[in-house]
Homo-oligomer: A and B are copies of this chain.
Amino acid sequence: MVIIGGSDAGVSAALRAREVNPEIKPLLITADNFPNYSICGLPYYISRDVANWENLAHRTIEEIKKTGIELLLGHAAQSCNAKEKQLRIVDENGESKTIGYDKLIIATGGLSVKPKISGIGLPGVFFLRWVPESIAIDEFIRKKKPKKALIIGAGYIGMEMSEALMKRGIKVTIVEFLESVLPSVDVDIGNKIRIMLAEKGIDIHTNTSVESIIKIKDDLIVKGSNNLELSTDMVLASVGSMPNTLLGKSFGINTGIKDALKVNLKMETNIPDVYTAGDCVETWHRILQKHVYLPLGTTAHKQGRIAGENAAGGDKEFSGSMGTQSVKIFDTVIARTGLNDKEAVQAGFQPMSAEFETWDHKVYYPPVEKVYIKVTADKKTKRILGAQMLGAYKTEISKRIDIFATAMYHNITANEFSNYDLSYTPPLSSPWDPVQMAVQRLEKIL
């Protein structure tokens, strides 16, 4: 078994294959020398919450080897002869060799989207997806001591990086093309986040596209729509991910939405004995009941596990993503699962949403924090379609969203949701948990 790609999907596949059949010794080939790194952790290296980038490895190289996985670092897969089941790989010095495979798993992951902005390649303009990029940003901060940074894109990475750069003493401006920050949640929640960010001293321009960056001496001048013209010391472009499918396409693997590799629920491609998983593939959405491109670490782990199990002789199907996501920005946590109101409309549902705010636990036991919940159900079927939450760090927001994710996996209706026997003790909840109180509000208008 050969696996190309040493991030979440690739390593999960290898580990699962070993679990299912300990006879298998998967060969894991990675283009760089940083296998099994936590991409989601990179902002915390910039913020210096993580002192050494080495700590960001989910597993060290030694730990991976100990599980019985063979590692071949610094080798890129170049081409493939699917009929002969042979793979051509090349090392960093350009030396190439051919290796055979019985089962092949492609886990080449994703790439940062490079926006069409003139000057995007200038020094001082960064992307953040890989360990070397985070090291480069850190070095730039240490050497150039920038006072101002401009972040293009107010998604998860942009949000986390605004905090990280502020922690390094840098004044941050965010420019977002859409109408609100964190476009994965509804605009009303985005506006709450925006207010929070503004209170932290971050400048935000929404409905604004960046068109050009020019360098004048040490300054970067960023121009865009709405008469945007700002001088800054560094730029971070975080406008999303795209699938890295160059290799997969060279094998003849079909592609689908957003040009991601097509797979069935068993993570099989159209090429016999070739599986694929993670940020390079389409993802089945359990609520939309169709494929989407939704690259997430959690999904990559699940898909990788299934690809590994099936490549090892198993017969497991990916049960679909709910689009569950959480993020901590300063002291606020925002989490979502399923469809937000806007997405539910687009998908042809008749969504009804209730907004509800309460305390995270009994108000008599201080300190308490406010928790905001927006829950959406389909008017016709009463089925809960999605939930969005916002609240202080350490108020169990992220696992409260998981109650919804778990419930929605089973197609729960709003009317049945109050049946759940959820835990209560005054320092941690209420006899009806806030998630149930929110759904009870929704019941009244459904």
Contacts and interface: CB of A to CB of B under 8 A. Distances in A.
Contacts of A8: 431
Contact of A364 (B56, B298, B323, B420): B56
Interface string A146-162: 00000000000000000
A376 interface: no
Contact of A403 (B321, B363, B403, B427): B403
Interface string A369-396: 0000000000000000000000001101
Contact of A427 (B321, B328, B362): B328
A226 interface: no
Interface stretch (A26-34, A62-70, A405-413): A405-413
A217 interface: no
A325 interface: yes
Nearest to A432: B301
A50 B364 contact: yes
Interface residues of A, number: 69
A55 B431 CA distance: 16
Q: Name the residue among A38, A298, A402 with the largest chain B CB count within 10 angstroms.
A: A402
Contacts of A286: 421
Contact of A365 (B44, B323, B324, B327): B44
Contacts of A324: 421-423
Q: Name the residue among A301, A362, A425 with the largest chain B CB count within 10 angstroms.
A: A425
A251 to B, nearest CB: 27
B396 A396 contact: yes
A419 to B, nearest CB: 4
Contacts of A426: 38, 40-41, 44
Tally of this chain's copies: 2
A100 interface: no
Contacts of A403: 399, 402-403, 406
Contact of A405 (B41, B364, B421): B421
Q: Name the residue among A38, A298, A305 with the largest chain B CB count within 10 angstroms.
A: A298
A185 interface: no
Nearest to A52: B364
B424 A297 contact: yes
Given A297-B431, A428-B328, A319 B40 contact: no
A423 B402 contact: yes
Nearest to A425: B326
A246 to B, nearest CB: 25
A55 B365 CA distance: 9
A168 interface: no
Given A38-B426, A431-B301, A364 B55 contact: yes
A4 to B, nearest CB: 20
A49 B402 contact: no
A421 B398 contact: no
A94 interface: no
A420 B428 contact: no
A326 B423 contact: yes
Given A328-B428, A406-B407, A319 B50 contact: no
A335 B297 contact: no
Contacts of A364: 38, 41, 44, 50, 55-56
29 contacts: A38-B362, A38-B426, A40-B426, A44-B364, A44-B426, A298-B424, A301-B431, A302-B418, A305-B418, A324-B421, A326-B429, A328-B425, A333-B425, A333-B428, A337-B423, A393-B427, A394-B394, A398-B423, A398-B425, A399-B399, A399-B402, A400-B402, A402-B420, A402-B423, A405-B420, A405-B421, A406-B407, A406-B420, A409-B421
Interface of A: 8, 19, 38, 40-41, 44, 49-50, 55-56, 58, 286, 296-302, 305, 319-328, 333, 335, 337, 362-366, 393-394, 396, 398-403, 405-407, 409-410, 416, 418-429, 431-433, 444
- 10 shortest A-B CB distances, which residue pairs? A399-B399, A326-B423, A319-B419, A322-B421, A396-B399, A410-B410, A398-B428, A55-B364, A406-B406, A324-B421
Given A337-B421, A398-B429, A409-B421, 4 more contacts: A19-B444, A296-B424, A298-B422, A335-B423
